[in-house]
Structure formats: C-alpha cells, structure tokens
Amino acid sequence: MKDIFLKKQILKRPDELKRHYDVVIIGGGSHGLATAYYLATHHGITNVAILEKSYIGSGAAGRNTTIIRANYRTPEGAAFYKQSVELYERLSGELDFNLMFSQHGHFTLAHSDRSLVVQQERAEVNKLLGIDSYVIDAKEVKKLCPQINISTDVTWPIQGALYHPPGGIIRHDAVVWGFAKQVTRAGIEIHQNVEVTGFDISNGRVHGVKTTKGDVSCGVVLSATAGWSSIVAKMAGVPLPIIGSILQAFVTEPVKPFLDKIIVSAQMHIYCSQTDRGEFLIGAEVEPYPTYSNKGTFPFVEYACRHVLELFPQLHATKILRHWTGLCDMSPDYSPIMGLTELDGFLVDCGWGTYGFKAAPIVGVTLAELIAKGKTPALIEPFKLDRFYTDTLVSEAAAAAVSH
C-alpha cells in the first residue's frame, strides 16, 4: 500500500542539495519547471536542481489569470506566442496531466475608431504568421458572446473587437503540477524552501550558488524568478532594466456558466473570464507605482466592478469571493528578456510583466536548447538583454496586456 502511494506521489522530497549540478534553475514557477522538463526530455540533461524559496507555483505561476493567446502586435512576439499556444494544445497529453485547457476564444474590445485601427494592425500581423485572429463589428461580438452588453447607452460603447478563436484559459496550478510531476520522474530535483543568497563568481563567470541550505557548484545558472528577477540578478552583478509593479485580480462567487469567452478591454483597463468553477475572474491594469508589497486595494475593486458591470450588468448582485495580487517584472518595451548576460554561465528569463504564464512551454523549449547547445535559438534572439544597449527594442505595448 505504501508503495502504491509513493508511485502516485507527484513530488518526491529530495535529499540534501548535492555539491554539484550541471544546471541550477532559480525559481519553481511555470518557466523554471518547463525549462527543466525540456532539458530532460529534449536534451537528456537531468543533473539539474530547481531552487524555490517558497513552494512551487507560489509566485506568478499561481497568481496569473490563466489566459493563453498568441494575438500579439509585433512579428517577434506573435511568432513566439504562436508556438507557445501550439505546445499548450498538446501539453495535457504530453504531461499525462489534465490541464483543462478550454479554447473558446478571446476578444480584445475596441471602443473607438483608433482602437479598431490598432486591432486591425494586430490582425494583419497575426494573419501573416498564420495566427487565427480577425476584426469583427459589435453585432458579431454580440452573436458570438450573447451575454455581453453592446448598448450605446454606456461610457464606452463597443464598436468591434479583435477576435482570436484559439485563445483560452487553462488551470494554472495544473500546469505547475504537471511539469513538476514529469520533472521529478526524470530525476531532476526540486528543492522548495531553499533561498538563493549569493553567487560564487570569478573571472567573469558564475561557478556556483550560495543558498540557505548550503553552497553548490554548477555549470549554468538560470534565474527564472519573475517579480524577484532584479534582486537575484543584482546579487550576480547583472543590472536589469526592470520595474516591479503589482497586478490585482479577484473572483466572484460561482454563478451558472454563461461566459465561455475571454473579454479584454484596453480602454476600460479590464479583462474577465468565467472559470471552470463558475467564478467570474476579473483583472485590470498593473498598478502605476513600483512596489514589492502584495497588498490589494479597494480603489481597484471599485474601478474594476464599475467597468465590468458596463459589459455584464447581469453580475450586479454577485459577491466578490477572493482578491489577490501578483508581482510583475515590467521591461521598458513590454517584451520579455531571455538568455545570456554579461556574466558567463548566468542566464535570465524575466521582463514578463503580465504575460509570462502563457509563454511557459516555449520558454522551456528555447531556454533548454540554449543551455544544452550554447547557441541562442532564433525565436528568442530578439528578446536578449543586449537589445537595451543596441537600441533594438521590440515594442509590444500595443498588445502586451490591457496596458495601453
């Protein structure tokens, strides 16, 4: 009986840290776990430790609003996220874990002529890359999402939307646990409650990691620490152009299923979806002040409710159940930063703002390839840290979230 239980266990508590690993990954979120998974499955590299200062999925991976989509504005961003969506589509089978990915479509609402032009530009970029995404008018919005209010008697009447049929929502905790299960099976160690306190650096190269459970030597370090990226990179002497802000979200009490689409409005600065439990999940813009304080605010709740009720007046008597925040590592051009740094052997995966979770599988594939082969894959070449020194930014502000 004990054996059966152990076989079913997803996570095995590893022993003490070993003295050496080929790769140390800092951060047990979806990106760190995915990178470890593809290191093992694509490259046979399993002498890997994931160091997580809290529990796996305790940061952005467990706090995001679970949206998966590829309808970005830049060719670089759209091509990258297209592959992520395709990987997510196969991931339940691959991980042997039901991730409950529901692809019912994603709307980015337009409430002005200007916004319709921006959505049309996005649709054109998407079309060129083979991403299913096109602009529809308000009547078509209503046809596809009969519950939404398209009345003109509101502050922001809907004029149309960018419609992205493959967009969807997924169970974020299941993604974390699915990767963790397969990573553990491959023999990779996940050490929870182990915090990195410094690095062993000499001659422009990182040789090891100092932690609250002792020091380890290693060939490569990957920092996949989202909201804490600047702090970790600073310990390695690598400056990052990142500002930490919080994003807030809340869920209502469960109501009968009536919304199967994801609705985003840049002008109203909100987005919402209905979870598989029936809750309405509502979020807004990143807060306009830098902070590491995970404190929610009442003005956010009031603002988001006022706006969501314009779209779904049916929710007027629905109660809020839970409200939380997450740290967002915002880069100046709203695109991620991935890959090599000026410190040999020290790689970063950061600048994910509010759009990191949806990239987890393709981040894992590409960073695992970089670590294994030492060459930056073409797909992530535009996102290297270097771009802030060479003036080759990838400006994704027009489609990065609700942030424009």
CB of 188 to ligand PYC, least distance (A): 29
Q: How many CA atoms does the CB half-sphere of 101 hold within 13 Å?
A: 19
The conformational region for residue 226 under phi > 0 = left, psi -120 to 50 = alpha, else beta, is left
Q: Which contiguous run of DSSP H or E holds residue 248?
A: strand 243-252
Measured from the CB atom, the residue of 88 and 271 that comes closer to ligand PYC is 271
Which x/- pattern over 264-293 shows residues binding ligand PYC (rule: CB under 6 A)? -------x-----------x----------
Question: Looking at 17, 34, 67, 145, which residue binds ligand PYC (CB under 6 A)?
Answer: 67
Read off the tokens for 89.
């589509």
| Footprint of ligand PYC on 337-356 (CB under 6 A) | 354-355
| Separation CA 118–CA 102 (nearest Å) | 27
| Footprint of ligand PYC on 7-46 (CB under 6 A) | none
Q: Are strands 280-290 and 270-274 parallel, antiparallel or unpaired?
A: antiparallel
Question: Looking at 70, 78, 238, 401, which residue binds ligand PYC (CB under 6 A)?
Answer: 401
Please report, for residues 207, 338, 369, the alpha-carbon distance to residue 386 in angstroms, rounded to integers and kept in the order given: 22, 10, 19
Measured from the CB atom, the residue of 312 and 346 that comes closer to ligand PYC is 312
The conformational region for residue 11 under phi > 0 = left, psi -120 to 50 = alpha, else beta, is beta
| Separation CA 171–CA 168 (nearest Å) | 11
Q: Which stretch binds ligand PYC (CB under 6 A): 63-71, 274-282, 298-306, 379-387?
A: 63-71
CB of 200 to ligand PYC, least distance (A): 37
Question: Looking at 27, 61, 62, 65, which residue binds ligand PYC (CB under 6 A)?
Answer: 65
Q: Which stretch binds ligand PYC (CB under 6 A): 62-70, 108-116, 132-140, 215-223?
A: 62-70
CB of 65 to ligand PYC, least distance (A): 5
Q: Which residue type, as a one-letter code, is found at position 123? A: A
Please report, for residues 111, 223, 314, 337, the alpha-carbon distance to residue 226 in angstroms, rounded to integers and kept in the order given: 32, 9, 36, 11
CB of 355 to ligand PYC, least distance (A): 4
Regarding 78 and contact with ligand PYC (CB under 6 A), the answer is no
Q: Which stretch binds ligand PYC (CB under 6 A): 18-26, 55-63, 65-73, 91-99?
A: 65-73
Longest Cα–Cα distance of the chain, Å, equals: 67
Tell me the number of residues near ligand PYC by CB under 6 A: 8
Residues of this chain that interact with ligand PYC (CB under 6 A) are 65, 67, 69, 271, 283, 354-355, 401
